[in-house]
Amino acid sequence: MTKLVLLSDLYSNHELDERILSLINGEQPSIGYIPSCSDPGRKYFEHTVRYYNQLGIESIDYYDLDLEYEENRFNTIFESDAIHLSGGNTFYFLSLLQKRNAMGLLRSYVHKGGILIGVSAGSILTTPTIEIAGYGEDADENHVGIMDKQALALVDFEFSPHWDGTEEALESLRDYVRANATTIYACKDGGGLVIDGEKVESYGDTRRIN
C-alpha cells in the first residue's frame, strides 16, 4: 500500500503533523534524509531535524547523493521507517537520483511499505514527471541539461508547490493541464497531501486542477 506525504514546504501544520505521525506509527521511528544537493554546513538538514524533533522524532540521518556519497552507507537508508526528500532544484535532484541508480530502489522501498515524505522538489519527484518544475515565473533552472524528466511515478498526478493563492496562478496551471493532458494539485505553503493507499487526503489550502 503506497504511503506518501507531499508537502509544499516544512512549515508546521498541526493537523498535517498529527497525520504524518499516525502514518509512521512507530515507537521510535527513524527517518533517512536525502538532500537535493550536498549541504556541507547542514543548514537545511538542521531545519528538517528541528521539524521532526518537535513531532517527537529523534532519529534523523543524513544521506548524501552528491559530494559526500558513500554507496554502502546509502544502502542502509532503506532500513528507515520513512525517507525524506528535501526541497531544492528539482532537475539537479533528479539527476543525482539517476546517477546513483536510486530511482528503482526508492520505488521498491515504497512498494514494500516504506513511507516517502517529499518537500517541494522532493514532492515533485514522486509524480510521473518533473516537467512542471520548469514551468512558470519561479521555475527551476535545468542547469544540468537533464533530458529524461521521468520521475518516480508513485502517483498519477503532478504537484505544484508554493501556490501563492491567486486565481492568476491557477489559470496558468490550467493552461499547463490542457497542454499536457494531466492533473495537478496546487498547494500553498503550510499545506500538503497524504496518499494512503488509493486515498488522497488534502491538508491546508490545495486545489485539484484537471
Say if residue 25's pLDDT is above 90: no
Q: Name the residue ranges covered by the structural domains of the chain.
A: 3-209
What is the value of pTM for the model shown? 0.97
* 7: enclosing H helix or E strand: strand 3-7
* pLDDT score, position 69: 97
Segment 175-202 shows an average pLDDT of: 97
The string of DSSP codes covering 82-146 is EEEE--S-HHHHHHHHHHTT-HHHHHHHHHTT-EEEEETHHHHTTSSB-GGGG-STTPPP-TT--
Contact present, 39 and 30 (Cβ < 8 Å)? no
Q: Nearest 5 degrees, angle CA 10-CA 102-CA 138?
A: 40
Say if residue 208's pLDDT is above 90: yes
CATH level 3 topology of 3-209: Rossmann fold (3.40.50)
Query: How many CB atoms within 10 Å of residue 128?
Result: 16
Quick: pLDDT tens for 64-86.
999 999 999 999 999 999 999 99
Alpha-carbon gap, residue 41 to 140, rounded angstroms:
23
